[in-house]
Structure 1
Amino acid sequence: MRAKPLKQLKYVSTYLRSVQDFYMLDSFGLRQQDILKLMLENKEGVTVDELSQSLNISRNAVRQHLAVLERDGLVLQFGARPSKGRPELLYGLANKGKEAFPRRYSWFAELLMTALINEVGHEGLNAKVAEMGNRVASELRAGRRTPASTAESIKELNVLMRDLGYSSKVVEDDAGELVIEASNCVFHDLASKHSEVCEFDLALMTTFTQSEVCHEECMVRGGKRCRFKFKSSQA
């Protein structure tokens, strides 16, 4: 028996290509986006035949796309659906695949920041955010060997920043002091409304590197980049 086209395909195809859905999804090919969106709409799982008919592509093409998505941890096998012949494998979104779709974390974070300001004021929020940065940095340091120098700490910090999504690099200024320059800010939208967010970065950097940190340039304040200068607190 031929598999029925998946529900809401017309709405899926149209909505998938809307700009607001192109967050992480735009990093995939259009067919892979279609597959992920269909799996989101059909949480009980989908078969190769269903995908083939709904997308009007061959079963082999579907399998090739699934192999890539499985390899990247976006899709997994849910089990099998009984049929007259061999059981049909069901595929669905892994947790990583679900995260490819739009989230409103920044909106919720803004609500939290506003609530905290109303509760403790701007100075209190600065203190709480700095405390968070210090705690995170201490936890990160606890899981690593003690760096041999401040320079090594700064380079390790830069690696962490890049893992978090910063496009950053370590450079030396004219005075020979080490500087981290970031051409983006992962908290930019939130920080533009609540500058207290910058205290998190500064506290984390200070505690992680055991250095004095000077925020020389800030994109929220109109700079072209975020620029952090480090000086050993033991110097």
Structure 2
Amino acid sequence: MTKGIGTRREQILKLLLESRLGLGIDEIAEQLDISRNAVQQHLSSLEQEQLVKKDIFKSTGGRPSRNYVLTEHGINYFPKQYSWFGNLVLSELKSEMSEDAFRQFMWRLGVKLAKTLLTQFDGKQPDEKVAALVDTMQSLGYEASLDINTGQPIIKASNCVYHDLAQQFSELCDFDHALISTLLDRPIEQTACMARGDCSCAFLIKSEVSG
């Protein structure tokens, strides 16, 4: 029985995580020792947050019972630790490459990602591309914004999506540089970096069109 561990909603999510085929309302109520109505209320709230969804009906010997399962969003509600694996992979790559080769590798990765996104930028004017870039970076988790107060446009990212890794592998900035410059088809200059202690990562967009 799952009692006294976290909030009720966390208990329900944990039960569904451990039962990937799903659980019915009565099963959840029994395992948590709470009323059926209480379970329904929590599930309704979790559905609205797109953490759970209704799945198949299953027979329980009485009336058919609707199963509930976690959505992908619900699965991702639980902590994930990727940095140690990323650190392991990058350390191994860097040990087998020269510094220049490692930087070029990061640049190629940035260009490769950019090419998968270029259709969103086709036919746009330069200012429209910048706006699209901010939206794209937001969707990737960068918490990006455009600063035009300095006279030249600067893309600022207040969340480094691989902050821990970037502190050890500064070459990751080459990935960002390649991604941004490829999507904008313009040269950029990184003027601030969170991994170096700045408040945000900042990329100055230069006026010349790249060749």
TM above 0.5: yes
Instruction: Work out the number of aligned pairs and report it.
Output: 210
Q: Note if contact 2:158-2:200 (Cα within 8 Å) is conserved in structure 1.
A: yes
Residue 194 of structure 1 deviates from its aligned partner by 0.9
Identify which of 199, 209, 212 aligns with 2:174: 199
CA–CA separation in structure 2 for the residues paired with 1:83 and 1:136? 48
Q: Note if contact 1:75-1:94 (Cα within 8 Å) is conserved in structure 2.
A: yes
Q: TM-score, normalised by structure 2?
A: 0.89
Overall identity of the aligned pairs, in %: 36
Residue 230 of structure 1 deviates from its aligned partner by 0.4
Q: Note if contact 1:46-1:92 (Cα within 8 Å) is conserved in structure 2.
A: yes
5+ residue gaps in structure 2?
none
What amino acid does structure 1 have at the position aligned with 2:74? Answer: G
What is aligned with 2:194? 219
Q: Note if contact 2:121-2:129 (Cα within 8 Å) is conserved in structure 1.
A: no
What is aligned with 1:32? 9
What is aligned with 1:106? 83
What is aligned with 2:69? 92
Structure 1 pair 168–85 and aligned structure 2 pair: CA distance change class (3 A)? same
Q: Note if contact 2:111-2:182 (Cα within 8 Å) is conserved in structure 1.
A: yes
Q: How do 1:1-235 and structure 2 match up within 5 A?
A: 6=1, 9-10=2-3, 13-14=4-5, 17=6, 30-149=7-126, 151-174=127-150, 176-234=151-209
CA–CA separation in structure 1 for the residues paired with 2:208 and 2:22? 56
Residue 82 of structure 1 deviates from its aligned partner by 2.3
Structure 1 pair 69–115 and aligned structure 2 pair: CA distance change class (3 A)? same
Residue 101 of structure 1 deviates from its aligned partner by 1.3
5+ residue gaps in structure 1?
1-5, 18-29
Residue 143 of structure 1 deviates from its aligned partner by 4.1
What amino acid does structure 2 have at the position aligned with 1:214? Answer: E
Residue 115 of structure 1 deviates from its aligned partner by 1.4
CA–CA separation in structure 1 for the residues paired with 2:10 and 2:99? 42
Backbone CA RMSD of aligned residues? 2.0
1:232 is paired with a residue of what secondary structure? coil
CA–CA separation in structure 2 for the residues paired with 1:43 and 1:224? 41
Render the CA deviation track for 1:55-108: whole Å, top value 9, x for unaligned. 343322211222232344322334233233212222222233212112222221
CA–CA separation in structure 1 for the residues paired with 2:132 and 2:59? 52
CA–CA separation in structure 1 for the residues paired with 2:152 and 2:74? 42
CA–CA separation in structure 2 for the residues paired with 1:103 and 1:82? 34
Render the CA deviation track for 1:191-223: whole Å, top value 9, x for unaligned. 111111111100001111111111111111111
Single out whichever of 116-125 and 80-89 deviates more from structure 2.
Answer: 80-89
CA–CA separation in structure 1 for the residues paired with 2:43 and 2:121? 37
Q: Note if contact 1:210-1:232 (Cα within 8 Å) is conserved in structure 2.
A: no
